[in-house]
């Protein structure tokens, strides 16, 4: 990952977790829970909902560590992806209306990348992300933000902005490619 | 606003939207199928997922302490359940050194997970076995291994020792991320369960009949449709266990009855053929 943090995980941590090693899991929890919780909180905005998602995801990691496929990314990517997906599912099932209202608010209020973070690596990463986000066009940034943080599908983004579907798909795609290249993310 | 259906466009176009969960369930499924079939697409997907992960991780914030407490309590409960299952074994005869009390599946440090080999099947991850399933299987094997007719205290002891060794082997095999569990019924009666990994297989059968004097069960590794002879075994009670390191990912397994000493090619019809899903 771009900025290794103080909680750099040993390569075999997940293997040990898959074999049922509770100490290894505790280390894994401490390393990954902030990213998981931060993701859930960014999407859900509600601390209780976010805490529930974090708990679900971390227990799920313990139970499915033997299915983790390193070819699809680092443990952190795996955990964060799971957190985002669950948060989005919650948004779509429980709070779709609220989210739409929230998305409307988000359009008028830039995302706060200075979100208080207790983690040095989080601050560094937030700084990098802000820098890279600045490299997107306004429309790319808007589409990516509405989708990732606002929980809107690309169809909803298109509807919301009164733009054509292919346009929004391209904005999301081009935006993510720019971010990927700027962040130096390889996997 | 025209609706465009998934069948009319390329999953490639939706890959980025998929990575940030901005697609509907049908599109999600279509993209994931495409990823499973196309390594280049999977590579691109991995890059998008890692990028999306930064969007979340950059907002990292330590969750409340209660969350940590609850999660760690939940996994301890999991492990305790596992331990209970592993220790829930039939009582062995007096004088037997019983493997009871061993934590079959979750003793930290007891297993060295095998290295998952990348197979040629692309990025679709082969499902590992759930920890619970492992536990149940290990417990079942131990139960079979020690529920043997009383022969002599020494033999009993030997069998218990062997059972422990076998259980250790099963546990080690099951810890491998690519482990698969196959099972089927023998046409002659009984059930066989195989744990297969990229380079080993362990077959445990229960409720089988004695193959008869001068006969043994023989295990065959089926490679490209050709049976490769492997180990043979007699039956202890109504169970047997055969393991092989001749097994390679994608091979099948078959059991026949052969004359003692085994055959170079099967002389009888297979009682069971097990084929892994690749």
Q: Which residue has the higher pLDDT, B92 or A73?
A: A73
Calculate ∠ Cα B124-B130-B136, nearest 5°.
Answer: 145
Report residue B244: phi and psi, to 5°: -145, 140
Choose the closest CB to A153 out of B23, B79, B131.
B23
Q: Which residue has the higher pLDDT, B182 or B267?
A: B267
Cβ–Cβ < 8 Å for A71, B42: yes
B26: its two tokens: 């049908």
Closest CA to A80 of A111, A132, A42, A49: A42
Is residue A151 predicted with pLDDT exceeding 50? yes
* CB contacts, 8 Å: A11 with chain B: none
Q: Which of residues 7-66 of A touch B (CB under 8 A)?
A: 12, 15-16, 18-26, 29-30, 33-39, 41-42, 47, 50-51, 54-55, 58-59, 62-63, 66
**Mean per-residue pLDDT for B53-61?**
94
pLDDT score, position B109: 33
Q: Which residues contact B223 (CB under 8 A, 6 or more apart)?
A: B248, B251
Interchain contact B22–A (C-beta under 8 A): yes
pLDDT score, position A122: 64
pTM score of the predicted model:
0.55
- How far B70 CA sits from the closest chain A CA (Å)? 7
pLDDT, chain B, mean = 70
Q: Which residues contact B278 (CB under 8 A, 6 or more apart)?
A: B119, B121, B126, B249, B250
Of A41-55, B18-32, B81-95, B100-114, the range with the lowest mean pLDDT is: B100-114
Contact assignment for B20 to A37 by CB distance below 8 Å: no
pLDDT score, position B72: 95
Interchain contact A167–B (C-beta under 8 A): no
Choose the closest CB to B52 out of A18, A70, A81.
A81
pLDDT score, position B57: 94
Question: In this structure, what DSSP letter does residue A8 have?
Answer: P
pLDDT score, position A40: 97
Is residue A149 predicted with pLDDT exceeding 80? yes
Q: Which residue has the higher pLDDT, B149 or B8?
A: B8
Interchain contact A117–B (C-beta under 8 A): yes
Q: What is the pLDDT of residues B188-234, one digit of tens each?
A: 888 888 888 888 888 888 788 888 888 888 888 888 777 877 766 66
Contact assignment for B21 to A29 by CB distance below 8 Å: no
Q: What is the SS3 string spanning A40-88?
A: HHHHHCCHHHHHHHHHHHHHHHHHHHHHCCHHHCCHHHHHHHHHHHHHH
Q: What is the pLDDT of residues B129-187, one digit of tens each?
A: 555 555 555 555 444 444 444 444 545 555 555 565 556 666 667 777 777 777 788 88
């Amino acid at each position: 990952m771009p900025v290794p943090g103080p909680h750099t995980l040993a390569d075999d941590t997940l293997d040990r977790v898959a074999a049922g090693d509770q100490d290894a899991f505790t280390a894994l929890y401490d390393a990954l829970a902030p990213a998981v919780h931060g993701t859930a909180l960014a999407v859900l905005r509600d601390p209780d909902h976010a805490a529930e998602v974090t708990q679900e995801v971390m227990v799920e990691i313990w139970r499915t560590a033997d299915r983790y496929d390193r070819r699809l990314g680092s443990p952190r990517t795996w955990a964060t992806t799971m957190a985002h997906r669950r948060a989005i599912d919650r948004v779509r099932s429980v709070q779709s209306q609220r989210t739409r209202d929230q998305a409307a608010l988000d359009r008028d209020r830039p995302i706060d990348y200075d979100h208080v973070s207790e983690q040095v690596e989080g601050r560094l990463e937030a700084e990098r992300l802000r820098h890279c986000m600045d490299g997107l066009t306004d429309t790319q940034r808007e589409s990516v933000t509405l989708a990732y943080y606002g929980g809107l599908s690309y169809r909803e983004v298109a509807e919301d902005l009164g733009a054509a579907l292919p346009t929004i798909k391209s904005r999301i795609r081009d935006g993510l490619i720019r971010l990927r290249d700027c962040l130096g993310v390889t996997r | 606003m025209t609706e465009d259906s998934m069948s009319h466009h390329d999953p490639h176009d939706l890959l980025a939207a998929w990575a940030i969960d901005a697609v509907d369930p049908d599109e999600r499924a279509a993209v994931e199928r495409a990823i499973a079939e196309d390594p280049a697409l999977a590579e691109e997907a991995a890059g998008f997922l890692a990028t999306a992960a930064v969007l979340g991780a950059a907002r990292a914030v330590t969750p409340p302490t209660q969350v940590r407490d609850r999660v760690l309590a939940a996994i301890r409960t999991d492990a305790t359940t596992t331990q209970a299952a592993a220790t829930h074994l039939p009582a062995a005869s007096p004088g037997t050194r019983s493997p009871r009390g061993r934590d079959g599946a979750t003793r930290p440090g007891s297993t060295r997970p095998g290295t998952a080999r990348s197979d040629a099947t692309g990025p679709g991850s082969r499902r590992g076995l759930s920890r619970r399933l492992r536990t149940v299987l290990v417990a079942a094997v131990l139960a079979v291994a020690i529920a043997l007719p009383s022969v002599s205290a020494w033999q009993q002891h030997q069998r218990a020792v062997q059972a422990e060794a076998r259980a250790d082997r099963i546990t080690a095999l099951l810890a491998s991320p690519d482990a698969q569990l196959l099972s089927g019924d023998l046409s002659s009666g009984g059930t066989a369960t195989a744990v297969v990994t990229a380079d080993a297989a362990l077959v445990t059968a229960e409720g089988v009949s004695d193959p008869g004097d001068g006969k043994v069960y023989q295990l065959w590794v089926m490679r490209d449709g050709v049976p490769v002879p492997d180990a043979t075994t007699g039956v202890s009670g109504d169970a047997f266990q055969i393991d092989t390191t001749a097994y390679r990912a994608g091979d099948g397994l078959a059991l026949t009855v052969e004359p003692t000493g085994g055959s170079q090619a099967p002389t009888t019809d297979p009682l069971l053929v097990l084929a892994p899903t690749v």
